């Protein structure tokens, strides 16, 4: 594997005697990747940290470092300029003004090409090349051109901005096209994935289907891969005697404060250091009892010091610290201990161990590893994390105290809560937080990213890998069947269950596979759902020869399309007899009254009846509605009730999915059949399967089906594998 990042994991310095010394480079990317790579053999291409220095490759612990020299001009235009003066502020919601200079862009392109050329030179045949972050957005496409044989992963550590902001960038198209050279593009959170997919469609016409994009005749996977830390190593560091002793000494040096608040950041305007200082300062000014005897340490590691915006940020922070200390400090006891320095990892761990409250208040942050490091260091199970909503970490660390950093009163109030939180509650929250960080560590992150990258080679093999063995062998036997009918339910099978039935969307991979199957010779596909045919058409989209059956079989889109794969023949109109129509009118009125009485239920009108949706109501409402309907049944003679998952299907005609499936099967001359369903109403369909047919239950619950898979994702896998296997008529995996 070859890792390509702007910086090498170590700053390499040439000594006067010709030897080289290495010191770990600062920042989140290196913290995350260094432990993974030291356990794998590989190469890392990056800049060594000084201008105009040519260094030979060196190997440490199986990792070969390939320094890429940068001239002083390149550092100024490519790194400080385009990377940190244009992209960094733009991608962080334009907190500072992004600058757009054409010569910066030219340098960025030139340096990206050098990175691509170096990667092409270092990568072995068919190697995996993992490119990192916003400094190298053009490298994926450049490398693909030079080396089409390598598998390219790209991971962006910082946020991906909202479309409206990104559109300002004069080189917006080139950058998106550059990233699309990768086989897999990873972001920290799913919001970033959505922003990127929307832009790829708008700017370069990429075709977006779920987590796949197709562009320039290639498929590209995109996804969210929240990065993490080496939690185990961090926890082990925290309990080392020298670290716990240093933590105790720290507190005693500060005069054993009642509460210690800590901030640790690279000194950067995105980190919101001013936010927490302002909140703490105001609470001190108000003599709030919560801050009585409290003190704060702010470590602000020097960063990007030649950029004007960073110089100004530093000045502002230092002015703020000075003002707070001037007003509230005492001799030997400053209110804020401010350290514009970097510390070795073990010393940093001592700060985490010593702190009662960790304040992480960025205005925007891709992830924020500091928050996770604090949690990993709280081996005694207490401590409070105050965390900005605008960090990627906020999505995972829900038991922290979340704040909007733009809301000063909110931050103050939350800081008060943090300082006064009882130990029992601290421990309860920290237990969840620690479990999250322990189970989602950096190793898991890298493994997930790299195995998804591997899967892009052969999506069918990947789909098969995720299926249980007995399902795999059923797929294998169905693949070779001469005539096949594939029947499936919609909700909970093709589409994940959601609270509002109108919001349900099928997984694109599942629909793609159904369409592929439906055009194959001797293969018929039917979606049999409780939904009305009209709704089903909207939800499944232009399904082509996929046959749609609505209202549990009462509405059928016309069997001729299914039998001959002819053009869609249009629906067989559902005609109710006069009696049925009369009954339906009464039913509609009665159920409308019910909906008025219980406003949390949702009604879905169908030509042959009405579905009463109970998802999102309380258990009490559910029981009451069920009782009223049972009572009503006595009066609505001829109405059938089909209870489903959180839904009661009321119908004036006799239909169920079993009859529907059996009808299709016999119209087709009795082909071997597979049916996939998740609901109790699908049991009718499982019930009509013949020996040799395959019933697949999706999710838990009693069933007559012989096989079981866990969720719609696996349905998509099953259908993908079946489609591919039937297409090639040979099974791709043993
Ligand atoms: C980028 C994204 C994303 C800090 N001071 C010292 C020191 N550090 C270490 C921390 C932590 C790392 O630097 C900072 O990581 P963050 O994640 O907090 O932030 P960025 O540097 O902005 O990182 C970020 C990250 O990439 C990973 O994808 O989370 O959103 O902006 O590990 O401990 N380390 C040492 N001494 C210090 O003084 N040794």
Domain assignment of residue 447, yes or no: no
Instruction: Verify that 215 and 192 share a domain, yes or no.
Output: yes
Find the length of the chain. Answer: 734
Q: Which of 230, 268, 365, 656 is catalytic?
A: 365
Tell me if 602 CB under 6 Å of ligand 1.
no
Domain assignment of residue 454, yes or no: no
pLDDT of residue 503: 79
Instruction: Verify that 415 and 550 share a domain, yes or no.
Output: no
Question: For a pocket test of ligand 1, which of 157, 341, 363, 369 has the largest count of ligand atoms closer than 8 A to its C-beta?
Answer: 369
Percent of the chain's residues with pLDDT above 90? 66
* 266 C-alpha to ligand 1 centroid (Å): 7
DSSP state of 502: G
* 152 C-alpha to ligand 1 centroid (Å): 25
Predicted confidence band at 515 (pLDDT cuts at 50, 70, 90)?
confident
Tell me if 340 CB under 6 Å of ligand 1.
no
157 flagged as catalytic? yes
Instruction: Verify that 670 and 637 share a domain, yes or no.
Output: no
Predicted confidence band at 571 (pLDDT cuts at 50, 70, 90)?
very low
Instruction: Verify that 19 and 77 share a domain, yes or no.
Output: yes
Tell me if 343 CB under 6 Å of ligand 1.
yes
* 370 C-alpha to ligand 1 centroid (Å): 6
Tell me if 227 CB under 6 Å of ligand 1.
yes
711 flagged as catalytic? no
pLDDT of residue 558: 61
Cα 404 to the chain's mean position, in Å?
21
pLDDT of residue 573: 45
Tell me if 367 CB under 6 Å of ligand 1.
yes
Sheet bearing 58-60, strands edge to edge: 58-60, 63-67, 42-47, 2-7, 128-132, 151-155, 184-187, 218-224, 212-215, 207-209
The total number of structural domains that make up the chain: 4
Question: For a pocket test of ligand 1, which of 31, 159, 263, 373 has the largest count of ligand atoms closer than 8 A to its C-beta?
Answer: 31
Instruction: Verify that 646 and 662 share a domain, yes or no.
Output: no
Task: Give per-residue pLDDT as tens, 594-628.
Answer: 888 998 999 888 878 888 999 888 888 888 888 88
| Whole-angstrom distance, CA of residue 23 vs CA of residue 29 | 15
The CATH number of the domain where 692 resides is what? 3.40.50.1000
Tell me if 221 CB under 6 Å of ligand 1.
no
Domain assignment of residue 102, yes or no: yes
Instruction: Verify that 689 and 586 share a domain, yes or no.
Output: no
Instruction: Verify that 378 and 524 share a domain, yes or no.
Output: no
For residue 227, which atom of ligand 1 is closest to its CA? 28
Predicted confidence band at 731 (pLDDT cuts at 50, 70, 90)?
very low
| Whole-angstrom distance, CA of residue 178 vs CA of residue 138 | 4
Instruction: Verify that 270 and 288 share a domain, yes or no.
Output: yes
CB 52 within 8 A of CB 73: no
Quick one: CA dihedral 713, 718, 721, 723, positive or negative?
Answer: negative
Give me the chain's average pLDDT, please. Answer: 90
Task: Give per-residue pLDDT as tens, 22-35.
Answer: 777 756 567 677 76
Tell me if 31 CB under 6 Å of ligand 1.
yes
Instruction: Verify that 7 and 111 share a domain, yes or no.
Output: yes
pLDDT of residue 544: 66
Of the residues 435, 469, 503, the one at which a domain ends: 435
Instruction: Verify that 24 and 123 share a domain, yes or no.
Output: yes
Show the domain range for 108: 2-224
pLDDT of residue 560: 47
Helices (H), 331-468: 345-354, 369-377, 408-420, 423-439, 442-455, 459-465
Of the residues 651, 683, 706, the one at which a domain ends: 651
Tell me if 345 CB under 6 Å of ligand 1.
yes
Domain assignment of residue 456, yes or no: no
Domain assignment of residue 440, yes or no: no
The CATH number of the domain where 603 resides is what? 3.90.1070
Instruction: Verify that 634 and 665 share a domain, yes or no.
Output: no
Of the residues 224, 252, 271, the one at which a domain ends: 224
pLDDT of residue 564: 38
* 253 C-alpha to ligand 1 centroid (Å): 26
Task: Give per-residue pLDDT as tens, 520-563.
Answer: 888 999 999 999 888 898 888 766 688 899 988 888 766 544 54
pLDDT of 197 over the 50 cut: yes
Instruction: Verify that 110 and 13 share a domain, yes or no.
Output: yes
* 267 C-alpha to ligand 1 centroid (Å): 10
Question: For a pocket test of ligand 1, which of 25, 368, 440 has the largest count of ligand atoms closer than 8 A to its C-beta?
Answer: 368
Taking CA atoms only, the protein residue closest to ligand 1 atom 36 is 343
For β-strands 640-644 and 384-388, DSSP reports them as: unpaired
The CATH number of the domain where 220 resides is what? 3.40.50.2000
Q: What's the average model confidence in pLDDT over 112-134?
A: 96
């Amino acid at each position: 594997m070859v890792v390509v990042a702007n910086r090498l994991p170590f700053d390499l310095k040439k000594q006067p005697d010709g030897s080289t010394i290495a010191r770990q480079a600062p920042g989140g990317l290196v913290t995350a990747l260094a432990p993974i790579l030291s356990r794998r053999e590989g190469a890392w291409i990056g800049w060594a940290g000084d201008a105009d220095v040519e260094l030979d490759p060196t190997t440490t612990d199986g990792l070969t470092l390939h320094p890429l020299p940068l001239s002083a001009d390149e550092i100024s235009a490519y790194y400080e300029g385009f990377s940190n003066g244009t992209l960094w502020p733009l991608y962080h919601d334009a907190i500072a003004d992004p600058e757009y200079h054409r010569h910066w862009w030219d340098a960025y392109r030139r340096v990206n090409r050098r990175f691509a050329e170096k990667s092409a030179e270092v990568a072995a045949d068919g190697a995996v090349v993992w490119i990192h972050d916003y400094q190298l957005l053009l490298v994926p496409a450049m490398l693909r051109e030079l080396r089409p044989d390598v598998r390219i992963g790209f991971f962006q550590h910082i946020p991906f901005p909202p479309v409206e902001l990104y559109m300002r960038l004069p080189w917006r198209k080139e950058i998106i096209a550059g990233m699309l050279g990768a086989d897999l593009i990873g972001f920290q959170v799913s919001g970033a994935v959505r922003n990127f997919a929307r832009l790829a469609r708008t700017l370069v016409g990429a075709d977006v289907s779920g987590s796949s994009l197709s562009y320039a005749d290639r498929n590209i996977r995109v996804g969210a891969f929240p990065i993490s830390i080496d939690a185990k190593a961090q926890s082990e560091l925290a309990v080392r005697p020298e670290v716990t002793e240093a933590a105790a000494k720290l507190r005693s040096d500060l005069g054993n404060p009642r509460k210690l608040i800590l901030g640790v950041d690279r000194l950067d305007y995105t980190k919101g250091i001013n936010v927490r200082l302002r909140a703490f300062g105001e609470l001190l000014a108000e003599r709030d009892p919560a801050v009585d005897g409290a003190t704060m340490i702010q470590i602000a590691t020097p960063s990007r010091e030649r950029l004007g915006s960073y110089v100004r940020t530093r000045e502002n922070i230092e002015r703020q610290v000075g003002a707070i200390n001037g007003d509230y400090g005492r001799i030997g006891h400053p209110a804020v201990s401010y350290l514009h320095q970097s510390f070795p990892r073990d010393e940093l761990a001592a700060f985490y161990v010593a702190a009662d409250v960790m304040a992480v208040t960025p205005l925007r942050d891709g992830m924020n590893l500091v928050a996770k490091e604090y949690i990993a260091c709280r081996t005694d199970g207490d401590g409070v994390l105050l965390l900005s909503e605008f960090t990627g970490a906020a999505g995972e660390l829900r038991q922290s105290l979340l704040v909007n950093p733009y809301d000063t009163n909110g931050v103050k109030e939350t800081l008060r809560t943090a300082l006064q939180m009882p130990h029992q509650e601290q421990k309860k929250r920290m237990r969840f937080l620690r479990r999250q960080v322990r189970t989602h560590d950096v190793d898991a992150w890298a493994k997930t990213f790299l195995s998804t990258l591997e899967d892009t080679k052969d999506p069918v093999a990947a789909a098969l890998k995720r299926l249980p063995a007995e399902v795999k062998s059923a797929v294998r036997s169905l693949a070779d069947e001469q005539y096949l009918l594939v029947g499936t339910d919609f909700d909970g099978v093709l589409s994940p269950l959601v609270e509002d039935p109108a919001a349900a969307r099928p997984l694109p991979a599942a629909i793609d596979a159904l369409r592929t199957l439906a055009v194959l010779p001797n293969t018929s596909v039917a979606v049999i759902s409780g939904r009305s045919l009209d709704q089903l058409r909207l939800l499944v989209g232009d399904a082509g020869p996929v046959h749609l059956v609505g209202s549990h079989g009462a509405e059928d889109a016309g069997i001729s399309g299914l039998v001959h794969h002819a053009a869609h023949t249009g629906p067989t109109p559902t005609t109710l007899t006069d009696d049925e129509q009369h009954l339906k009118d009464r039913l509609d009125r009665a159920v409308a009254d019910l909906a008025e009485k219980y406003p949390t239920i949702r009604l879905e009108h169908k030509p042959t009846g009405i579905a009463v949706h109970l998802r999102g109501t309380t258990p009490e409402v559910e029981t009451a509605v069920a009782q009223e309907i049972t009572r009503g049944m006595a009066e609505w003679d001829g109405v059938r009730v089909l209870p489903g998952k959180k839904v009661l299907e009321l119908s004036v005609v006799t239909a169920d999915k079993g009859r529907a499936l059996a009808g299709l099967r016999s119209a087709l001359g009795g082909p071997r059949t597979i049916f996939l369903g998740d609901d109790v109403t699908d049991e009718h369909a499982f019930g009509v399967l013949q020996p040799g047919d395959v019933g697949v239950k999706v999710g838990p619950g009693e069933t007559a089906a012989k096989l079981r898979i866990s969720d719609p994702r696996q349905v998509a896998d099953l259908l993908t594998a079946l489609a591919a296997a039937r297409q090639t008529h040979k099974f791709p995996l043993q």
